[in-house]
Structure 1
Amino acid sequence: MRYRRNYVAGGTYFFTVNLLNRQSALLVEHIDVLRESVRWVKQQQPFYIDAWVVLPDHMHAVLTLPDDDHDYSNRWREIKKRFSKSLPKTELLTDSNRRKGERGIWQRRFWEHTICDERDFWHHVNYVHYNPMKHGLVNCVIDWPYSSFHRALELGIYQSSWCGEELMFES
């Protein structure tokens, strides 16, 4: 059976995007390149970042697309492509990478989940922000620099001491 992605115009989605080499720290080593790649794609094909965290070898995001748009796949393709093209070619390539003209930086696919309601939204936003602690990278969420947690803190959504407790907000 083949997996079919769920495309909903104006939808909100949770994503996990991984490097091919899960031992790599490429994403945080080149965080400015990644940020610029996201910024450029966001200008060309707008989306709203509800939550985002970048870890050494993968990233999670909760993104909302414009009401008339459902094309998150192309956004991820462009982010990955721009990031890859900005790096020197030092990675080892498999025969498959060479045949397909790939750099060998990213896993080909990404995980996506369509957010279905407010509870699901907050569950995934919290998961994104808690992830650096989950992976043992920090002892407190606030200590991870590559996270939208800091923006959410400024907006009063979290307290600086938040460490993964479930947060629920009624609209």
Structure 2
Amino acid sequence: MPTIRHAHRLRTGRYSVPGQVYLITSIVQNRDPVFKDFEQGRLVVDALRKAQQEELALSLAWVVMPDHLHWLIELKDSTLTFVMARTKSRITFALNRSIGRDGPLWQHGFHDRAIRREEDLQAVARYIVANPLRAGLVERIGDYPLWDAVWL
């Protein structure tokens, strides 16, 4: 496994504020496209829904790409670190069990960006769900099965 020399910088300046909206990105180790298979991608969707059921975060929009995840959330009474640790752990466990693998799945850490109040949340959500289109995976956003947004 390659060493990430500056992974600690992902945490520098990180604040978890309940009620704040965040755009979170998490990447699979070595950019392995494990979620290109629909069934494996659905494991991610299940974990995102579980985080919402547990009232850790309100999912506003998300897209599961073959090798990473973009998730727009409103943080509830928790921390970003807790939400992501629990969600990534849940996905890893389910995927490992599903395909008979073991070991870590995700790169260490995650990237987060707090969305300013004046930003248009729907525009951010449109940008997120258009990722498969920009990546050339589909010709129309509606053709990609692993995304959702509350505005639809």
Q: Which TM-score tier does this pair reach, normalised by the shorter chain?
A: 0.7 to 0.9
Query: Which of 1 and 2 has higher RCO (CA within 8 Å, sep 6+)?
Result: 2
Paired letter, 1:47? A
1:113/1:63 CA distance change after superposition, 3 Å = same
Q: What's the counterpart of residue 141 of structure 2?
A: 141
Q: State yes or no: 1:62 paired with 2:61.
A: no
Match among 25, 28, 38 for residue 34 of structure 2: 25
Higher strand residue share: 2
Q: TM-score, normalised by structure 1?
A: 0.71
Distance 2:151 2:30 in 1: 30
1:120, distance to aligned residue in structure 2 (A): 4.7
The root-mean-square deviation of aligned C-alpha atoms, in Å, is 2.2
Q: Which runs of 5+ in 1 are unaligned?
A: 92-102, 154-171
Paired letter, 1:127? Y
Bigger Rg, structure 1 or 2? 1
Structure 1 SS opposite 2:24:
strand
1:29, distance to aligned residue in structure 2 (A): 4.2
Structure 1 SS opposite 2:30:
coil
Q: What's the counterpart of residue 41 of structure 1?
A: 51
Q: What's the counterpart of residue 5 of structure 2?
A: none
1:44, distance to aligned residue in structure 2 (A): 2.3
Q: How does 1:73-84 map to 2 (within 5 A)?
A: 73-84=81-92
1:114/1:21 CA distance change after superposition, 3 Å = same
Match among 74, 95, 101 for residue 90 of structure 1: 101
1:23, distance to aligned residue in structure 2 (A): 3.3
Count of aligned positions: 139
Q: What's the counterpart of residue 8 of structure 1?
A: 17
1:142/1:47 CA distance change after superposition, 3 Å = same
Distance 1:147 1:13 in 2: 17
Paired letter, 1:6? Y
CA contact 2:48–2:59 (8 Å) conserved in 1? no
1:152, distance to aligned residue in structure 2 (A): 3.4
Distance 1:40 1:50 in 2: 14
Q: Which runs of 5+ in 2 are unaligned?
A: 1-7
Distance 2:129 2:118 in 1: 17
Distance 2:120 2:29 in 1: 28
Name the % identity: 27
